[in-house]
Structure 1
Amino acid sequence: MDQLVNIVGTNIKELRKHKKMTQEDLAEKCGLQTSYLAGVERGDRNITLQTLEKITNGLEVTAKELFELKTPIKALSLETEQLIYLFTEQLREKPEVEIRLIIELANKIFETYSK
């Protein structure tokens, strides 16, 4: 289930960016909170069918487009896998509030460098 939530979230984000929309633009168009939409895009939030319909209407796409796995899962080098493992282990020691903050900061960094 988590993988599906991540696929849908990633596809929403990619489609939104392709349409040159900000999270704020799409959230407003769908009648959602921006923070909620950000959580959906990160795969942190499960969405209802009603919300899925709002998002498909807002992006002007079909639900099928949100569920398609567009890129194969990328194989990572052993060194990269080790770095991810070490980072994950550090996160396990943190309270949920700090983990959410770290994820939020990381997403801001990713957004900055992906422009």
Structure 2
Amino acid sequence: MSNLKVIIGEKIRDQRKIKGLTQKELSQKANVQHTYLGDVERGVRNISIESLEKIMEALSIEPTDLFEYKAIEYKDSSSEFDLIIKDHVELLKTKHIEDVKMINQITKEIFKSIEMKRIK
């Protein structure tokens, strides 16, 4: 079984990066010590439920955001591609699910069209 402290820490770090926050910025928003947050993200320190709630509130996330998603790999968080993806994710989170489904279908059709043009 994987170390739960490490898993939770990694997921907090992923969510922090998705939101574009530094550890210091998140620790200030959550009213927790910067060193504590760093230890939690590295999985070397237990996180209390109270601190977890503060961090989740500061990140504007729900428990499912920590426990039911695929980890995102960050090779270069400052790359243009990553910034565009992050921008789209944040925008889509504010929309109704039916609108997101429609946008997803339109995007797929656009990419199909682009691929067809490349083949010709």
Task: Give the structure-1-normalised TM-score.
Answer: 0.58
The answer to whether the 8 Å contact 1:2/1:43 transfers is: no
Structure index of larger Rg: 2
Question: Which ranges of structure 2 fall in alignment gaps of 5 or more residues?
Answer: 78-120
Structure 1 contact 30–58 (Cα < 8 Å) conserved: yes
Residues in 2 aligned to 1:55 and 1:64: alpha-carbon distance in whole angstroms = 14
- Give the structure 2 partner of residue 16 of structure 1: 16
Cα offset for 1:55? 0.7
| Equivalent residue number for residue 7 of structure 2 | 7
Q: Which runs of 5+ in 1 are unaligned?
A: 72-110
Q: Give the distance between the partners of 1:61 and 1:49, measured in 2 at CA.
A: 15
Structure-2 residue corresponding to 1:40: 40
Q: CA RMSD in A?
A: 2.1
Separation in 1, partners of 2:67, 2:39: 17
Give distance in 2, aligned partners of 1:67 and 1:59.
14
What residue in structure 2 maps to residue 30 of structure 1? 30
1:63 offset after TM fit, Å?
A: 1.6
What amino acid is aligned across from residue 56 of structure 2 in structure 1? Answer: T
Residue identity matched to 2:52: L
Identity over aligned pairs, percent: 41
Q: What TM-score comes out, normalization by structure 2 length?
A: 0.56
Residue of structure 2 equivalent to 1:49:
49
Per-residue CA distance 1:34-68 (angstroms, 9 max, x = gap):
11100000001111110110011011001222223
Point out 4+ residue stretches in structure 1 off by more than 4 angstroms.
none
CA contact (8 A) 1:9 1:43 kept: yes
